[in-house]
Amino acid sequence: MNKPNILLIYTGGTIGMIKDPETGVLRSFEFDNLLVKIPELKLLDCIIETTSFDERLDSSNMNPKYWIQIAEIIEKNYPSFDGFVVLHGSDTMSYSASALSFMLEDLAKPVIFTGSQLPIGDLRTDAKENLITSIQIASLQKDNKPIIKEVGLYFEYKLYRGNRTTKINAEHFEAFTSLNYPDLAESGVHLKINYPYLLKPDTTKNLVVHKELDTNIVLVKLFPGISKSLLQNIFSTQNLKGVILETYGAGNCTTEDWFITLLKETIIKGIHIINVTQCSGGSVTMGEYETSIQLKKIGVISGKDITTEAAVTKLMYLLCKNYSSKDFKTVFETALRGEMSQN
Ligand code: ASP
C-alpha cells in the first residue's frame, strides 16, 4: 500500500519560530529544515513535503490575498497529495479556516489548519503534538481514500470543523472552541474519530476553487447606547455591500424606531444585513422575542448558529456570486460547508 503524501504549507505564526540561543529573539526558521528540527516526523507513516510563504506572516496580517495564495497552493498540488496541513498563527486561524472552507468547493481531501501557542523550539511547546497529530489526521485513509474530507482545525488534542471554531484564549494551550458543533476527532491514547459528524461531500465532483472575495463589508457589534449617528455613518460607507450585525442573545436588538428604520433603509439600498449573535454558543432565532420580530419583517438575514468568523468570510464569498437579494438571503441561510445548523 502506498504511503499517503502530505503537503505542509507554512504561512507563519508562532509555531514556526525558534528562539535564537544567543539573543533570545524569536525568529522564523527555514521550513526546509523541518525534518531536522523535528526528527519525530520521520516516524510518521506518510511522505511529507513542505512549502512555505516567501514571507512568513504573523496571522494578524492575514487577509484575503493570502487566503487566495493558500487556495492556489492547494489547487496546484491537489492531484498529487492526499492531504494538506496548513501551519498558521492562531490569532486569525478561525477566519482563514472558514474562508478556505468556502473557497474550496467539493473538497474531498483533508485540509487541516494548526499552529501553536509556544514556538516549536520551546521546551514546553505545544507545537509538536499539534503538528504531528495534524499530519496523522491528514493521513488517515480507508480503502485508499481520505477519511477527513473538509477543512479542519486541530489544536490541543481536538480536531474541529474549521468554520465552526473561534479563538477563545490567548494563553491556554486549549485556545479554540467549537460550541455549536461537536469535535470531529479527539486525540487521547487512541485517535477517536466522530464519524457521524464528518462532512460527507459528493466525491464524484471535482474540486472547484473560488478565488474572489469581496471585502466591502462591515462587522458591527451592538452595545447598549450605540448611537444613531455612528450607525448612519457606518451604513453610508461608499461601496458597502454587507453588514454582519452582532446582536444580543438569540438575535435581539433595541426596538427603538430610529434603529429599525435605519436597518430597513439600508436593506432597501441593497445592502445585506446578517444577524449573528454575540454569544459564543447558541443560535439566532428571529421572532422568538419581540425585540427581534421587526428584524425578521424588514428582511434581515438570519446567521442562525454561525460563528462571526464564518459569517464574515461567507459574506465575502457570496458577495461575488451576483445573487438577487432574495436568493442571497436563501443561500446565506443555507449551510454550504457545514458552517451552520440546518433548521
Ligand atoms: N500572533 C501569532 C499569530 O497569530 C500568535 C500565534 O501564532 O499563535 O501569528
pLDDT in tens, 213-258: 999 999 999 999 999 999 999 999 999 999 999 999 999 999 999 9
Q: In the chain, what is the straight-line distance between the N-terminal and C-terminal CA atoms, in Å?
A: 42
**39/256: higher pLDDT:** 256
Q: What is the pLDDT of residue 159?
A: 98
Alpha-carbon distance of 7 to 59, in angstroms, equals 20
- Other CB atoms within 10 A of residue 330 CB: 12
Q: What share of the chain is helix, strand, coil (3-state, %, to 5)?
A: 35, 25, 45
Regarding the beta carbon of 89 and ligand 1, being less than 6 Å apart is answered yes
Is the separation of the CB atoms in 311 and 335 below 8 Å?
A: no
The confidence band for 32, taking pLDDT boundaries of 50, 70 and 90, is: low
- 84-100 residue pLDDT tens: 999 999 999 999 999 99
Alpha-carbon distance of 332 to 121, in angstroms, equals 43
Is the separation of the CB atoms in 92 and 63 below 8 Å?
A: no
Look-up of cell digits 523535528? 38
Q: What is the pLDDT of residue 178?
A: 96
Question: Is 10 a residue whose pLDDT tops 80?
Answer: yes
- 98-108 residue pLDDT tens: 999 999 999 99
The conformation of residue 203, written as its DSSP 8-state character, comes to T
Regarding the beta carbon of 180 and ligand 1, being less than 6 Å apart is answered no
**Residues present in the chain in total:** 343
SS3 250: coil
Regarding the beta carbon of 59 and ligand 1, being less than 6 Å apart is answered yes
The confidence band for 289, taking pLDDT boundaries of 50, 70 and 90, is: confident
Q: Mutate which of 11, 57, 60 to test ligand 1's pocket (most atoms within 8 Å of Cβ)?
A: 60
- Other CB atoms within 10 A of residue 51 CB: 15
**Parallel, antiparallel or unpaired: strands 141-142 and 145-146:** antiparallel
Tell me the DSSP string of 255-278. --HHHHHHHHHHHHTT-EEEEEES
Alpha-carbon distance of 268 to 164, in angstroms, equals 31
**290/218: higher pLDDT:** 218
User: How far does the centroid of ligand 1 lie from the alpha carbon of residue 13, in Å?
Assistant: 5
pLDDT-wise least confident of 12-16, 149-153, 194-198: 12-16
The confidence band for 28, taking pLDDT boundaries of 50, 70 and 90, is: confident
Question: Is 72 a residue whose pLDDT tops 70?
Answer: yes
User: How far does the centroid of ligand 1 lie from the alpha carbon of residue 225, in Å?
Assistant: 33
Regarding the beta carbon of 13 and ligand 1, being less than 6 Å apart is answered yes
Q: What is the pLDDT of residue 83?
A: 98
Q: What is the CA radius of gyration of the chain?
A: 21
Domains of the chain listed by start with CATH number = 5-209 (3.40.50.1170), 217-332 (3.40.50.40)
What average pLDDT does this structure show over 167-176? 90
- Ligand 1, atom 6, lies closest to the CA of 89
